[in-house]
């Protein structure tokens, strides 16, 4: 895996340039929604490594370095143990592996809730250490002041409402949200509050479809659905879920491949070749020169 750098003589700056394409920007993403309508839906997938970013980049508008790496990469039970260092390391790898998509990095639990100042300092560290374009945080109206504080200081923010995994200890599970009138009203209100605070996009996760549609119509920000509605302004999935790396996934996941079977099949064949001594073969060996 390598990234080629080419000197841009018009600006005297080096840009990753494996393809003749400039990276999308946050304003470019925002401009997709005109008079409440997004003609071209926003495509978002998660990425945690440089190689995955390379494979997804040309096909996505946004690459999300999600704190879902807790379960996907580290085998943890929830996203709660994720640290800023983990997010920065993986965020930097994804930026290095991409040239087209806007890269957004999740702010981990405990890195932003205490105060707007704490959130700003954590977000500034993420952007400095990764080169990403934006951060994402969970929470609705309660986080509106924090979002406004960061946006006013030059940090683009993606919000996240509905099913918020970092609040799993309060929510008590991963069930869909918005089944009561009060909860439905709160979800829409949370989205509106984040929109007014300046979030350029809002993830709507695990909410009933009518609520997702109502929230999408109520905000100027781009809404990104995950278990929400096709009428959202865009969609996101955990890439490993979409590829079939895990046997059990949420209802809202559509499996586009079964890569787990491919990996296991390759491992089985490799093990057979090693045990019967057919690997390495002539093509993989170095011989003395004649």
Q: How far is CA 241 from CA 1, 126, 238, 251, in A?
A: 24, 26, 5, 11
Residue whose token pair is 């683009």:
156
Residue 106 among known ligand-binding residues: yes
Beta bridge partners of 14: 7
| CB count in 10 Å sphere of residue 102 | 25
The response to whether 85 counts as a known ligand-binding position is no
Q: What is the pLDDT of residue 2?
A: 47
For residue 166, the model assigns a pLDDT of: 82
pTM given for the model:
0.91
Q: 121 labelled as ligand-binding?
A: no
CB atoms within 10 A of CB 79: 20
CA 284 to chain centre: 38
Which of the following is catalytic: 205, 247, 261, 272?
Answer: 205
In the CATH scheme, what is the code of domain 22-258?
Answer: 3.20.20.60
CA 67 remoteness from chain centre: 8
Each residue's pLDDT, cut to its tens digit, for the chain (290 residues) gives 445 445 455 555 555 555 556 899 999 999 999 999 999 999 999 999 999 999 999 999 999 999 999 999 999 999 999 999 999 999 999 999 999 999 999 999 999 999 999 999 999 999 999 999 999 999 999 999 999 999 999 999 999 999 887 876 666 666 777 689 999 999 999 999 999 999 999 999 999 999 999 999 999 999 999 999 999 999 999 999 999 999 888 888 999 999 999 999 999 999 999 999 999 999 999 999 98
Backbone angles phi, psi at 74, to 5 degrees: -100, -5
Please give the pLDDT value at position 250.
Answer: 83
Distance CA 182, CA 13 (A): 52
Q: How far apart are the first and last CA of the chain?
A: 33
pLDDT tens-place string over residues 179-215: 899 999 999 999 999 999 999 999 999 999 999 999 9
| 136 annotated to a ligand binding site | yes
Known active-site residue 205:
yes
pLDDT at 21: 66
Which residue, among 244, 178, 241, 229, has the nearest Cα to 41 in the 3D structure?
229
- With the C-alpha atoms ordered 81, 83, 88, 89, is the resulting torsion angle positive or negative? negative
Residue 35 is labelled as binding a ligand: no
How far, CA to CA in Å, does 46 sit from each of 98, 239, 242?
Answer: 12, 5, 10
H helical segments located in the chain: 26-30, 50-57, 69-72, 84-96, 116-130, 144-151, 168-171, 181-197, 209-218, 239-242, 259-275
């Amino acid at each position: 895996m390598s990234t080629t750098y080419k000197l841009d003589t018009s600006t005297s700056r080096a840009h990753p340039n494996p393809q003749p394409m400039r990276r999308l920007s946050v304003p470019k993403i925002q401009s997709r929604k005109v008079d409440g309508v997004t003609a071209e839906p926003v495509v978002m997938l998660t990425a945690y490594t440089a190689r995955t970013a390379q494979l997804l980049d040309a096909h996505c508008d946004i690459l999300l370095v999600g704190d879902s790496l807790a379960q996907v990469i580290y085998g943890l039970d929830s996203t709660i143990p994720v640290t800023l260092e983990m997010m920065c390391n993986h965020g930097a790898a994804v930026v290095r592996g991409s040239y087209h998509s806007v890269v957004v990095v999740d702010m981990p639990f405990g890195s932003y809730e205490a105060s707007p100042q704490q959130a700003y300092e954590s977000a500034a560290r993420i952007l400095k250490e990764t080169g990403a374009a934006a951060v994402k945080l969970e929470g609705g109206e309660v986080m509106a002041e924090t979002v406004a504080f960061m946006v006013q200081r030059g940090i683009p923010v993606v919000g996240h409402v509905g099913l918020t995994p970092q609040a799993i200890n309060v929510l008590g599970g991963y069930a869909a949200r918005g089944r009561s009138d009060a909860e439905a009203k709160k979800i829409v209100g949370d989205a509106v509050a984040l929109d007014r605070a300046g979030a350029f996009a809002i993830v709507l996760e695990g909410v009933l479809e009518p609520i997702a549609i109502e929230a999408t119509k109520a905000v100027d920000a781009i809404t990104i659905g995950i278990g929400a509605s096709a009428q959202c302004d865009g969609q996101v999935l955990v890439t490993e879920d979409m590829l079939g790396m895990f046997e059990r996934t949420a209802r809202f996941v559509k499996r586009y491949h079964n890569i787990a079977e491919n990996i296991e099949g390759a491992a089985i064949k490799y093990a057979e070749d090693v045990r019967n001594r057919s690997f390495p073969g002539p093509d993989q060996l170095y011989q003395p020169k004649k």
